[in-house]
Structure 1
Amino acid sequence: MQITSVGHAGFHIQTEAGSILCDPWVTPTYFASWVPFPDNTELDWDALGNCDYLYVSHLHKDHFDPKNLIAHVNKDATVLLPDYPVPDLKRELEKLGFHKFFETEDSVKHTVSGPKGDLDIMIIALRAPADGPIGDSGLVVSDGETTCFNMNDARPVDLDPLTDAFGKVDIHLLQYSGAIWYPMVYDIPKGTKRNFGKQKRQRGMDRCRNYISQVDAAWVVPSAGPPVFLDDDLRYLNDDHGDEGNIFPDQITFLEQMRINGNDRGLLMIPGSAVELRGSEKVALTHPIPDADVDKIFSNKAEYIEKMAQKMAPVIAAQKATWAPAEGEPLLDGLKAKFEPIMAQSDLICDGIGYPVGLVMGEETVVLDFPKRIVREPIDGEGKYRYGFRIAPELVRTVLRDDEPDWVNTIFLSTRFTAWRIGGYNEFLYTFFKCLTDERIAYADGWFAEAHDDSASIELGGYEIQRRCPHLKADLSKFGVVDGTNLTCDLHGWQWDLETGRCKTSKGHELRTSKLS
């Protein structure tokens, strides 16, 4: 098996039974904010796209790149489709001309047969509303000799089906770096923001090392990040100036983290790097440029980013030119038409948000009044809203013009906004913003309403607690970390007070807990 990095979470997996192209992202996205790092524009995308199978893990635009898929990827390729409850991914791929789908069952081993032979695959599908835009997934591939687990930026809660079906994993590809807007966009003091960033950075790497330990593959490739920010307004987000609170550490940083913790099985891959494996034996690892030049990408990172910025400036400018104008009719009517029908269908989510949310868009402020299920103008004397966003009006006009179903996958991941909040993170609020269709909101509201079995218990740190995390049902015997009376689930960094069961991260989500005598 030969595995070639094509940038970010993207890989080309070549076997004697056929080739699989995974998550081929090239085009700057999220309002021209995110760009693959290192540069992958010089790869032979026509050759890479002449594949037998295509795997797109989910609809986030740093995985699903319509422009690249249309221009370069074979439309007769068989799409390995995750088992999602809402078929948006399949619909979007069909719009691009893909017509052959192998529909998998979540966490079940399948054999795909082609003219060149058979491959065993499994797609672990994550289906909670918090997972991508209604779904995220990881792909397992075995050619009978070598097994690859491409976890990209998925966060599986149960890896037992993988190990039960495939046994030893030979190479593990997974995210280690940030892919979020927190804490950079929040209106909080600089020192506080740096401390939150340090915690976020370390939690992400700790979570990654936890997965590495669980999978116990022969080789590990840090991937699925970080992006690079090339727009002048966003260059401060890059981890190229010694900011210990930066949440976007690069591959070199994580490989060093692995070594510090006694693991020297990490492999550095950049776009065009290829590793050849026979089982767990690494036959060769080659880079598209001399090793010394690979080192310079990371040792002279600011200089490399500056050259990328100059190269990509026309592309970013062209994308900005497609945005809607900042001026126009008041936004209130458009937001009412977009949000109120969704609010009317989502009692549990609206009640979970529980308060009005402010949207400040230039000179205009609009209130999303979730308790009353309406979008309205501010009321005199209303004061500061517990949760609010300041967003440039051209971004809001663009997503309304394009009828975007997901603000998380457009505005929020762009980091081109600021936010404030009083109290903890509200998962219901961000779920609402990614579920702006009838189908999505019905699924999300039903998911939250569904009763989950928390009857199983474990002992951890002197307490008896429910085994499954109240957030996304991770197994706390694997992901739970106790520090005094504080429990952290390493999967997403959520925390609970073990004395009371109170969730410290978000409203609701109480933990069943009792102190052992």
Structure 2
Amino acid sequence: MQITSIGHAGFHIQTAAGSIVCDPWVNPAYFASWIPFPDNTELDWKDIGDCDYLYVSHLHRDHFDEKNLLENVNKDATVLLPDYPVPDLKRELERLGFTKFVETDDSKKHRVSGPKGDLDVMIIALRAPADGPIGDSGLIVDDGETVCFNMNDARPIDLDVIREEFGRVDVHLLQYSGAIWYPMVYDIPRKSKANFAMQKRQRGMDRARSYIEQVGATWVVPSAGPPMFLDDDLYVLNDFNTGSDADKASIFPDQADFLEQMRVHGTDDGVKHRGLMMVSGSKADFRADELLEISHPYPPEQVFGEGKKAYLDSMKAKFAPIIAAEKATWADADGEPLLPQLKALFEPIMAASDLISDGIGYPVGLMVGDETFVLDFPKRIVRMKEDGDGKYRYGFRIAPELVRTVLRDNEPDWVNTIFLSTRFTTWRIGGYNEYLYTFFKCLTDERIAYADGWFNEAHDDSASIELDGWNIQRRCPHLKADLSKFGVVEGEKLTCNLHGWQWDLSSGRCLTSKGHELRSERARA
């Protein structure tokens, strides 16, 4: 099996039975905020796209690159499709011209037969509202000799099925870096923001190391790492590898940082687990768990360590006209009144899910230019701030051109457009509200109905475990991760490293969001 990095979470997997292209992202995403690091525009995308199979893990724009898929990927390729409850991914691929699909069943091995031979594949599909834009997934490929698990930035809660179906994993491709807007966009003191960012940075790498230990692959390739932030307004978000406090407070460590973490914490012991650096264009040949050969298009150290700042500066100049062209496609800041448009978009979604609206539970402010709109979830209406008491507990400040663009384009998901762009600011009173961000990614009848049903579904939390002197329920109240694998106890505080949520063990109270209580008590001696 030959695995070629094509940038970020993208890989070209060549087997005797055919080639698979995974998550081929090259064009700037999220309002031109994210650009693949290292640069992958010099790759031969026509050649890469002449593939037998296509796998797009989910609809996040750094995985689903509409322009690249449309222009460069062979429409005769067979799509390996995750088993999602809402078929938005299939619809989008059909719209681009793809017609051949293998519709997999979640976490079940499939034999895929083509003119060049057979492959065994399995797709682990994650279906919680917090997983990507209503779904995220990971792909396992077995060509009869080598087993590769492309986890990208999925967060599976049960990996035992891989061992049961494949016996082992030889190569593990996984995300380890930040992929969120928190805490950079929050209107909080600089020192607090830096402390939160350092915690977020470390939790992401801790979670990735936990996955390495659970999967047990011989070779680990850090992927789906940090993007480049090359716009003037966002450039400070990069980790420049200068060793400064600003770098430590970036939630975006790069591949070199994570490989060092593996060495420091023993998840790269040179025998059982071995970290492998790959950049855009790197090719690695494997036979089972043996690395036969690896080649790079340039020495990787050119873009990491002391050379990273100069590299990012050169990329900033290269992409300036591309970013400018993208901005020219945004809607004008001025136009028709926004209130009727926001009411038409949000009020039917509010009315469609009492559970989510009640879960949000308070008015939310949306500052757009000089106007402040209030999403009054208790009353299920959108109004101007001055038409009520003016109070709200969660606020967003977003440029009018961004709001008008998503309205113009009928975007069903503000998380996958505005929020991941980091081109906004926010503040809140109290904890994170998962229901609120679920609402913003479910702006269609189909999506909100699914999310409402998911939250209504009863989950079994009767099983218990003992962890560092505490008896607690085995499954995390957030997204049902196995706390025997992801739970970390410090004093009377439990952290689930899957998403970084925390609980006070003495009371069971969730410290991250309201609700989501944990069953816990001290273990008896």
Q: TM-score higher than 0.5 here?
A: yes
Q: Give how far 1:381 is off.
A: 7.6
Q: Secondary structure at the match of 2:111?
A: strand
Matched, 1:251 2:255: yes
Q: Normalising by structure 2, what TM-score?
A: 0.97
The residue aligned with 2:231 is 231
2:180 is matched by which residue type in structure 1? I
Matched, 1:137 2:137: yes
1:257-296 residue pairs with structure 2 within 5 A? Answer: 257-262=261-266, 263=268, 264=270, 265-289=274-298, 291=299, 294-296=300-302
Q: Give how far 1:379 is off.
A: 3.5
The residue aligned with 2:158 is 158
Matched, 1:188 2:195: no
Within 1, Cα distance between the matches of 2:350 and 2:225?
34
Q: Give how far 1:300 is off.
A: 1.3
Q: Secondary structure at the match of 1:252?
A: helix
The residue aligned with 1:11 is 11
1:85 is matched by which residue type in structure 2? P
Within 2, Cα distance between the matches of 1:382 and 1:25?
46
The residue aligned with 1:107 is 107
1:403 is matched by which residue type in structure 2? N
Where structure 1 has 5 or more consecutive residues not aligned to the other structure, the ranges are: none
The residue aligned with 1:356 is 363
Pick aligned residue for 1:332 from 325, 329, 339:
339
1:84-103 residue pairs with structure 2 within 5 A? Answer: 84-103=84-103
Identity level (%): 75
The residue aligned with 1:297 is 303
Moved more, 242-251 or 171-180: 242-251
Residues 473 and 519 in structure 2, CA contact (< 8 A), matched pair in contact too: yes
Within 2, Cα distance between the matches of 1:50 and 1:383?
56
2:42 is matched by which residue type in structure 1? E
Moved more, 311-320 or 90-99: 311-320
Moved more, 493-502 or 324-333: 324-333
The residue aligned with 2:509 is 502
- Once the two structures are superposed, residues 71-117 of structure 1 have per-residue CA deviations (whole angstroms, 9 ceiling, x without a partner) of 11000000000000000000000000000000000000111000110
- Once the two structures are superposed, residues 166-195 of structure 1 have per-residue CA deviations (whole angstroms, 9 ceiling, x without a partner) of 111000000010000000000000000000
Within 2, Cα distance between the matches of 1:476 and 1:494?
11
Within 2, Cα distance between the matches of 1:76 and 1:125?
24
Within 2, Cα distance between the matches of 1:381 and 1:123?
49
Where structure 2 has 5 or more consecutive residues not aligned to the other structure, the ranges are: none
The residue aligned with 1:306 is 313
Q: Secondary structure at the match of 2:28?
A: coil
Q: Give how far 1:383 is off.
A: 4.8
Q: Give how far 1:386 is off.
A: 1.0
Q: Give how far 1:516 is off.
A: 2.0
The residue aligned with 1:511 is 518
1:13 is matched by which residue type in structure 2? I
Pick aligned residue for 2:413 from 380, 395, 406:
406
Matched, 1:373 2:377: no
- Once the two structures are superposed, residues 395-426 of structure 1 have per-residue CA deviations (whole angstroms, 9 ceiling, x without a partner) of 00000000000000000000000000111110
Count of residues paired in the alignment: 514
Q: Normalising by structure 1, what TM-score?
A: 0.98
1:42-121 residue pairs with structure 2 within 5 A? Answer: 42-121=42-121
The residue aligned with 1:382 is 389
The residue aligned with 2:23 is 23
Q: Give how far 1:131 is off.
A: 0.1
Residues 330 and 364 in structure 1, CA contact (< 8 A), matched pair in contact too: no
Residues 17 and 117 in structure 1, CA contact (< 8 A), matched pair in contact too: yes
Within 2, Cα distance between the matches of 1:497 and 1:174?
30
1:247 is matched by which residue type in structure 2? I
Matched, 1:40 2:40: yes
Residues 162 and 168 in structure 2, CA contact (< 8 A), matched pair in contact too: no
1:315 is matched by which residue type in structure 2? I
- Once the two structures are superposed, residues 340-389 of structure 1 have per-residue CA deviations (whole angstroms, 9 ceiling, x without a partner) of 00001011000000000000011011000011110011147835521000
Residues 36 and 227 in structure 2, CA contact (< 8 A), matched pair in contact too: yes
